[in-house]
Amino acid sequence: MRPCNVFQEVRLSVTSKISPIPAFSDNYIWLLENADGSAIVVDPGESQPVEQELATRGLRLTTILITHHHFDHVGGVEALKAAHGCEVYGPDNPDIAGIDNTLAAGDRIQVGDYAFRVLEVPGHTLDHIAYFQADPAPLLFCGDTLFAGGCGRMFEGNPPMMHNSLSQLAELPGDTAVYCAHEYTLANLAFAQAAEPDNAALKARASDAAAMRERGEPTVPSNIALERATNPFLRTTNPGIHKGLQAAGKTADDNPATVFASLRAWKDSF
């Protein structure tokens, strides 16, 4: 089966109760609808798009989940909390205003119909966390750590830290739906093809993603199996990645963290 079909299948199997709210130029605020008509939002960088979606769908906001402190992920928290009295969960960072419940690795929370385990995934920022649900459907809300076909820049962490965080996510079940926070997929896949030009699955994915964007559709969620097969930052031990780095005159050796560092530095200037 072609990997692009894997992508299409996961998009069809993901519950319709989870939907993206576009914000800014390329952010996604994720909205999770509970059976009782309440709602959860993840990383609301703006309040107005959330308010509009809640009103359109007749939902009441009860919970906000935060992955990290960047403004485009937390900018709407205070206004939404003031308007709805919702409960806010997030990393243990006093610079994030409005958090009621601070979370750390291994914490488990039940919010509405969803049961999440908290993963610490520093690198993009030092406070970055992710929310993983194993059952009944495996879901991952990973903010800016793992993107469709790529990963976040290291604004606060270092390559070994970020590589370790991505490796942790790569070990999740293959059918885990990956809800990242930005529509960066086409740019990520363009770089991925430069890094691993002989990857047939990657070429098929890039074609599918381009068609989705032409239709005005989000390219996310992805899934972990597809990321393992096509995301260069999860493929640091793959010979094709080493070949691509060498062809581009970049450092490549047998240390996966060093390979990751070379890939990330290349992507930063790509």
Return the active site residues. 68, 70, 72-73, 124, 144, 182
CA distances from 179 to 185, 208, 215 (A): 12, 18, 20
Phi, psi torsion values for 129, nearest 5 degrees: -125, 165
Paired tokens of 258:
């060093």
- Helix ranges restricted to H, the chain: 3-13, 48-57, 71-74, 77-84, 159-170, 185-195, 200-214, 224-230, 239-247, 256-268
What radius of gyration do the chain's Cα atoms show? 18
Paired tokens of 133:
């649900």
Measure the CA–CA gap between 270 and 244, rounded to whole angstroms: 14
